Amino acid sequence: MRKWRPVDVPADDEWTVNYQIVVPPLYRPEILSMAHETSLSGHLGVREAVVDNIANAVKYSRKVLLVVSKNFIKSEWCYFELEMARMRMFDNHEDILVVVVLEKVSAKDMPILLHKILTTTTYIEWEEHPERQALFWVKLEAALLSPNCPRYRLLDNPQE
């Protein structure tokens, strides 16, 4: 168990001390599945199912940030999040998706929906070179701060 407190909190303020259990990587998948899918979930601080957490996060977020990587491709939960974001985009005509490609993934390895999004949407690629990373962060900030309605709606209906 690890004990820590935020840096801006005085050392004698015990109310803001946090305790964190460090789980070895080998056991993390089992612990996380137990936290969400068993009767222990409430005792582990998890009050909702993973599906509900993802659905609510997508529903109430201004933007949805997808970080595409080889691990993203393997995750059923990441695909579910992508599917929920797609549904919100089409149902509400909102431009909520911000896609960052962290690492190259072969088109044959990715789901068809993700491939379609990457071929029809502007995405931001992570830059390994430190001098190009500043531009990456500028692009990401601009994408996250952009309006949620499509550009054509901004041009056609300035009152919206």
How do residues 18-54 score in pLDDT, each as one tens digit? 556 666 777 767 666 655 555 545 444 555 677 788 8
52 residue type, one letter: D
- Mean pLDDT, the chain, rounded, equals 77
Whether residue 75 contacts residue 102, with contact meaning beta carbons closer than 8 Å, is answered with no
Residue ranges of domains in the chain, CATH in brackets: 2-44 (no CATH), 56-156 (3.40.50.10140)
108 residue type, one letter: K
pLDDT per residue over 87-126, tens digit each?
888 888 888 889 999 988 898 998 898 999 888 888 999 9
Is residue 56's pLDDT more than 80?
Answer: yes
pTM of the model: 0.62
Facing residues of 124 across strands? 100
List of residues 6+ apart from 131 with CB closer than 8 A = none
pLDDT per residue over 75-87, tens digit each?
888 888 899 998 8
